[in-house]
């Protein structure tokens, strides 16, 4: 009898730019204070890419670390999937740029766009490809240069976002975290709650769209908050139910690092999970969109020793609207 293939994360990596944007820096840019930012978001710092440092550059560095962690070479990768809402170009794909830079000549490549839920969408796709037998090794990368689409005159959004990248190698071979289940969702009816108005075919770039700030993130913060908490809680519960688990089976929760108040609201819904088992990076990196869960996972694995059988619950929410949750088992 043929053994069923299991998709596993066998290597992780992350990259954060060197430049740190502090709350004190933001006080000099917009009408805000460190106390106001910390109280409402929990954020103290965020990383900002150099002007000549792009999404593909950050994704490449995270990918190189993940490949080294997995102990495989670029020419062993069959497929490269990139999640980003800040690609270097509309086309070619960021995946193709990274494929070339890595020298992964055997790999095909494609980008997907699910905003802050991007890393979970990548895991779901990679799991399906690996367990169907179509591919042996998949490199998933979530990378964002949100500073390129952030209006640093808008105090409601400029305090939130940072730049960074995460990568994972998914394979059916080797040791790692088994991707037990992924649950995804979307609601396009609420698309206008977080969006970038200009730059697509509906509003191509022109003098008017630039003058009106159409190429910057627009967000209805209060409404987003309500949806984020409800959707992530539901995704987590559905994800656990699908594999006959409860929150008592979870050792760590890694939520999307969007806002400390959102994370705290999610934490209250998991009464059996101690607060020190909810992994947080939002205070030092801000919201890095698609890469936030992947960055946090990489940091968790490098800072904590997991025992065999322990499980990690991931969850995220983003523009689209999109949301999801996933269970990983050591």
pLDDT (tens digit per residue) in 117-171: 999 999 999 999 999 999 999 999 999 999 999 999 999 999 999 999 999 999 9
Pick the catalytic residue: 23, 137, 181, 287? 287
How far is the C-alpha of 227 from the C-alpha of 205, rounded, in Å?
A: 30
> 3-state class of 255 per DSSP?
strand
For the segment 46-64, the average pLDDT, to the nearest whole number, is: 98
Residue 2 has pLDDT above 60, yes or no: no
pTM of the model: 0.97
Out of 23, 96, 116, 158, the active site residue is 116
Q: How far apart are CA 306 and CA 297, in angstroms?
A: 12
Q: What is the largest CA-CA distance in the chain?
A: 66
Predicted confidence at residue 271, as pLDDT, reads: 87
What domains can you pick out in the chain, each with its CATH number?
A: 8-175 (3.40.47.10), 180-329 (3.40.47.10)
Contacts of 23 (CB under 8 A, 6+ apart): 32, 33, 34, 37, 38, 43, 44, 45, 159
Closest CA to 45 of 26, 24, 15, 22: 22
Distance set, CA 87 to CA 17, 118, 174 (Å): 17, 13, 31
pLDDT per residue as tens digits for the range 129-140: 999 999 999 999
State yes or no: cis peptide before 92, omega within 30 of 0.
yes
| 75: its two tokens | 């020419």
Report residue 307 as tokens.
Answer: 């025992």
Q: Calculate mean pLDDT across residues 87-96.
A: 98
Average pLDDT over residues 101-114: 98
Q: pLDDT at residue 1 above 60?
A: no
pLDDT at residue 4 in the model: 85
Establish whether 287 is a catalytic residue: yes
Is 323:235 a contact under the CB 8 Å cutoff? Answer: yes
CA 300 vs CA 20, 113, 161, 249, 306: distances in Å: 21, 25, 21, 18, 9
> Per-residue pLDDT tens for 210-232?
999 999 999 998 899 999 999 99
Report the mean per-residue pLDDT for the chain.
97
Q: Euclidean distance between the first and final Cα of the chain, in Å?
A: 25
Please choose, from the candidates 65, 59, 71, 136, the residue with its C-alpha nearest in 3D space to the C-alpha of residue 100.
59
CB distance 142 to 84 below 8 Å = yes
* Residue 122 exposed, middle or buried by CB count within 10 Å (0-12, 13-18, 19+): buried
23, 137, 256, 259: the catalytic one is 256
Omega of the bond leading into 321 within 30 degrees of 0 (cis) = yes
pLDDT at 221: 87
């Amino acid at each position: 009898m043929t053994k069923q293939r299991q998709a596993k994360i066998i290597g992780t990596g992350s990259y954060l730019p060197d430049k740190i944007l502090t709350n004190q820096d933001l006080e000099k840019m917009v009408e805000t204070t460190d106390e106001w930012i910390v109280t409402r978001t929990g954020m103290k710092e965020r990383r900002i890419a150099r002007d000549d440092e792009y999404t593909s550059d950050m994704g490449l560095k995270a990918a190189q670390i993940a490949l080294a962690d997995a102990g495989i070479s670029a020419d062993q990768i069959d497929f490269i999937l990139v999640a980003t809402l800040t690609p270097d170009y509309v086309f070619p794909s960021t995946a193709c740029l990274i494929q070339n830079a890595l020298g992964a000549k055997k790999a095909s490549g494609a980008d997907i766009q699910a905003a802050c839920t991007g890393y979970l969408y990548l895991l779901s796709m990679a799991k399906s490809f690996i367990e169907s037998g179509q591919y042996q090794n998949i490199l998933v990368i979530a990378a964002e240069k949100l500073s390129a689409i952030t209006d640093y005159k808008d105090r409601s959004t400029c305090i939130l976002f940072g730049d960074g990248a995460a990568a994972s190698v998914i394979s059916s071979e080797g040791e790692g975290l088994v991707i037990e289940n992924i649950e995804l969702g979307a609601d396009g009816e609420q698309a206008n709650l977080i969006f970038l108005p200009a730059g697509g075919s509906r509003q191509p770039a022109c003098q008017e769209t630039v003058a009106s700030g159409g190429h910057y993130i627009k967000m209805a913060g209060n409404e987003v908050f309500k949806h984020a908490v409800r959707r992530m809680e539901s995704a987590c519960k559905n994800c656990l139910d699908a594999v006959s688990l409860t929150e008592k089976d979870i050792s760590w929760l890694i939520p999307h690092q969007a806002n400390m108040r959102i994370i705290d609201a999610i934490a209250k819904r998991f009464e059996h999970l101690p607060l020190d088992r909810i992994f947080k990076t939002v205070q030092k990196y801000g919201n890095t969109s698609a890469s936030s869960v992947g960055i946090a996972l990489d940091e968790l694995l490098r800072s904590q020793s997991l025992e065999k059988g322990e499980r990690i619950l991931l969850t995220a929410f983003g523009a689209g609207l999109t949301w999801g949750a996933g269970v990983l088992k050591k």
